[in-house]
Chain A
Amino acid sequence: MSDARGVLRLESLSRSYGPVKALDGVDLEVRAGEMITLVGPSGSGKSTILRLIAGLDRPDHGRVYVDGADVARVPPHRRSVAMVFQDYALFPHLTVRGNLLFGLRVRRVPRAEADRRARAAAERLGIADLLDRHPDQMSGGQRQRVALARALLREPSVYLLDEPLASLDAPLRFATRADLLTLHRELRTTTIHVTHDQQEAMTLGDRVVVLAAGRVRQVGPPQQVYDEPADTFVAGFLGSPPMNLVPGGGVLGGTPDETLGVRPEDLALAPEGPVAVTVEAVEALGSEAVLLTRCADGTRLTVRTGPRPGVGPGDPVRLRADRIHRFDTATGLRR
């Protein structure tokens, strides 16, 4: 049993809400100590997976194994999981101390021991000086740390983080992302992290799981999923701006039964390039520029270039495609 600590397995997990299939046969195995990012558009079933693992909801079919054991009949608090909710779900009438002690009091941990542990968790997350404040007297980032500290106190086998960075502003999100990674490296506890933010998906997590319409589309290390998307959905979802998907037999060549994909950064301005386009718009982003172009046959191609590309709307340019992905048009799967 101790070998299985931190191992999480989902077996053909399905859950419907009325006519809506939130999850449709999800299989996933997470290794001990691994950080997994679930990513997908809204309604893809990310949060449902977390709720099923936590025991806040029951699957229609399938099983959840935590630490190697089937937890179908185990109530939420007896499962070795801790969850950080999207809006943190801090108790507004309690101070930070009260929030941290909540679970310890419910579990009747002796007072001195509970205080010691709460303080240790608060110090670890740098909120020891906020112990007497109420949640409404704190910033979003501080609240997020309290929620993390509360999860930490459960000393679980698996952490479930439901979009923990979504409510933070951009600079804070960047800093907190790094903090989360550091914390995970220190704890080495299995973590399932849900996000709809692609940057988070790429930077946090040993592996990324791409979900759509309740199904797992692809699982793998972030760079691998980015480099070799399993189907046109993953290709279009990961990456910003998204991959250019062009019907075969068109400007990028290929056969009529395939769809060709090329990432904006894999298209380069080249005087001798095979693809002739007209620039329609230039989005200067400071560190880079994005060209929106159109071919003679109407196909639109997005190109990522360095800053100050030296072209403007209406200019004819030629492009070279460096890495072309091929997908079966009928199934959408990678060839």
Chain B
Amino acid sequence: MSRVRRPLTPWAFLAPYAAAVVLLVVLPAVLNVGYAFTDHTGLTRDPRFVGLANVRRLLADGFLLDSLRASLFHLALAVPVRLLAAVGLGLLLAAPRPGGRWFRTAVYLPTVIPDVALAVLFLWVLNPLYGPLNQLLRLVGHPGYTWLADPTTARLGVVLMLAFPIGEGFIVVLAARRMLDGRLYEAAALEGCGPFGQLRRITLPLLAPVLVLLAVRDTILTLQVNFVPAYVLTDGRPANATLYLPVYVFDQIFEFSGFAYGSTITILLTVVTAAVITGLLIMLRRWRVLR
């Protein structure tokens, strides 16, 4: 009796991707954890083991506290704003309507613009003298803000910029909404359920799994993608208001040659991300959002 040979084809297809994941993700991550226990500068080849010295430094670092505060502020504002924009526009533009194709394209467009280009564009948008945002405010009698010079408005400026590249979330909501059975809405209309009731009682509960997925994804993303706007718009200033964790990591590793310390902060970033997502999921379970 011959043994059934397992086909190697699936593994052959998997191999290039697996190799890339190991080389580019797993290995650096493991090395990163290793470096966190050394005094590696990134410049020399002889890192020495220093135990928990970097962790002790972490606990006493005032800049890190500023950085953590900036990141959490950004997270708390950017995730809801981006989700609201993606869900709102997705639901609004899901129904076929004249010109809908153009509106949908317009919503997706900022996503294909490179981050740096969008950031440079926002340098102009947020310019206190001739930027369109302040000009709009002046139209309604408001003197406007010195956006990037004030800690709070600088943070708002970054959130505002990141409220535009929402294409992926928008497309997911659009597709998910279009998959919902139109008869459910007719059945609801027959029961006297108006548009707002239909949104609350049918659309949002049925989209809940998708929305949770988007929230988790956006939490991970938001904690990382604020690097480019912060670097281009404010370089972490004013008063460390936009010194988000990725910016601080970059500064430590590449500006101050603190490779090992930077590695420790990236681990902290991972822990913060995991903690926020765990909290989110616990909250959703308690609210019984998911079946």
Contact = CB atoms under 8 A, between A and B. Distances in A.
A56 B191 CA distance: 12
Contacts of B59: none
Contacts of B205: 93
A134 B291 contact: yes
A299 to B, nearest CB: 46
A82 B190 contact: yes
Given A92-B206, A93-B205, A134-B291, A106 B183 contact: no
B188 interface: yes
A107 to B, nearest CB: 6
Nearest to A160: B190
A56 B291 contact: no
Interface string B232-257: 00000000000000000000000000
Contacts of B192: 77-78, 103, 106-107
A65 interface: no
A106 B192 CA distance: 7
A161 to B, nearest CB: 13
Interface string A137-161: 0000000000000100010000000
B77 interface: no
A89 B184 CA distance: 5
A85 interface: yes
Contacts of A92: 206
B291 A107 contact: no
A55 B188 CA distance: 13
A54 B189 CA distance: 10
Contacts of A85: 183, 186-187
B197 interface: yes
**Size bin of chain B's contact surface:** 10 to 19
A83 interface: yes
Contact of B190 (A77, A87, A91, A134): A77
Contacts of A93: 205-206, 208, 291
Size category of the binding interface on chain A: 20 to 34
B201 interface: yes
Contact of A102 (B181, B183, B201, B206): B201
B193 interface: yes
B190 A102 contact: no
Given A102-B201, A106-B197, A134-B291, A89 B187 contact: yes
A83 B190 contact: yes
A87 B291 contact: no
Contact of A107 (B184, B186, B191): B191
Given A87-B183, A93-B291, A102 B191 contact: yes
Given A89-B181, A93-B291, A134-B291, A102 B188 contact: yes
Interface string B174-215: 000000010110111111110001000110011010000000
A92 B191 CA distance: 16
Contacts of B208: 93
Contacts of B206: 92-93
Please indicate which of the listed interface residues A85, A87, A89, A107 has the most CB atoms of chain B within 10 Å of its own CB.
Answer: A89
A107 B194 CA distance: 11
A21 B68 CA distance: 65
Nearest to B290: A93
14 contacts: A77-B192, A78-B192, A83-B190, A85-B187, A91-B187, A93-B205, A93-B208, A93-B291, A106-B191, A106-B193, A106-B197, A107-B191, A150-B187, A154-B190
Interface of A: 54, 56, 75-78, 81-83, 85, 87, 89, 91-93, 102-103, 106-107, 134, 150, 154
Interface of B: 181, 183-184, 186-193, 197, 201-202, 205-206, 208, 291
Given A77-B191, A83-B190, A107-B191, 12 more contacts: A75-B189, A89-B184, A89-B187, A91-B202, A92-B206, A93-B206, A102-B201, A106-B191, A106-B192, A107-B192, A154-B190, A154-B191
